[in-house]
């Protein structure tokens, strides 16, 4: 193989690596509670939004439990940013971003590391 072909081959490999990406799995599960009563809230719309996807929508079940996830594009710089949005008529909408675990006000059920979301009535 000539020197020029080797250089072109190396360039092709390099460009392929740069343009190639991977997929990362993001998501969360938890329960949604009324902040005043502590009761679990059913039928809360839970939307997972990423910087490239408008949103994957799920709802809490009759016990206020939710589980949502999606695949996002990842490249060498990292995965897409995402946020969770919780909406229900009669309650204020709550949004949390991907860095919520660093927030001191975030609550978890210790035994299972389940996220607790508290909604406030309007």
For the chain, domain boundaries: 22-119
Quote the pTM value: 0.68
Q: What is the DSSP letter of 80?
A: P
Query: How far apart are alpha carbons 85 and 94 in whole angstroms?
Result: 6
Architecture category of domain 22-119 in CATH: Sandwich (2.60)
pLDDT band of 40, cuts 50, 70, 90: very high
Say what the pLDDT of residue 100 is.
59
Phi, psi values for residue 52, rounded to 5°: -115, -10
Rg (CA), the chain: 21
Tell the residue number behind the tokens 């059913």, with chain if given: 42
- Helix H segments across 43-94? none
Pairing of strands 56-59, 107-109: unpaired
Task: Tell me the per-residue pLDDT of 73-104, one tens digit each, with 9 for 90 and over.
Answer: 665 556 667 788 999 999 999 988 766 555 55
65 versus 17: which is more confidently predicted? 65
Say what the pLDDT of residue 63 is.
95
Say what the pLDDT of residue 57 is.
87
Residue 21, pLDDT > 60, answer no
- Six-digit token pair at 122? 């309007």
Tell the residue number behind the tokens 């490249």, with chain if given: 75
Q: How far apart are the first and last CA of the chain?
A: 72
């Amino acid at each position: 193989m000539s020197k020029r072909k080797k250089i072109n081959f190396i360039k092709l490999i390099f460009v392929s690596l740069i343009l190639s990406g991977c997929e990362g799995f993001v998501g969360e599960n938890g329960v949604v509670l009324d902040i005043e009563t502590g009761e679990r809230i059913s039928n809360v719309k839970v939307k997972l939004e990423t910087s490239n996807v408008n949103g994957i929508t799920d709802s809490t079940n009759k016990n206020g439990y939710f589980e949502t996830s999606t695949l996002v594009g990842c490249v060498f710089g990292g995965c897409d940013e995402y946020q969770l949005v919780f909406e229900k008529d009669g309650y204020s909408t709550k949004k949390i971003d991907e860095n919520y675990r660093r927030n001191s006000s975030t609550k978890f059920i210790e035994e299972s590391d389940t996220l607790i979301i508290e909604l406030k009535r309007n």
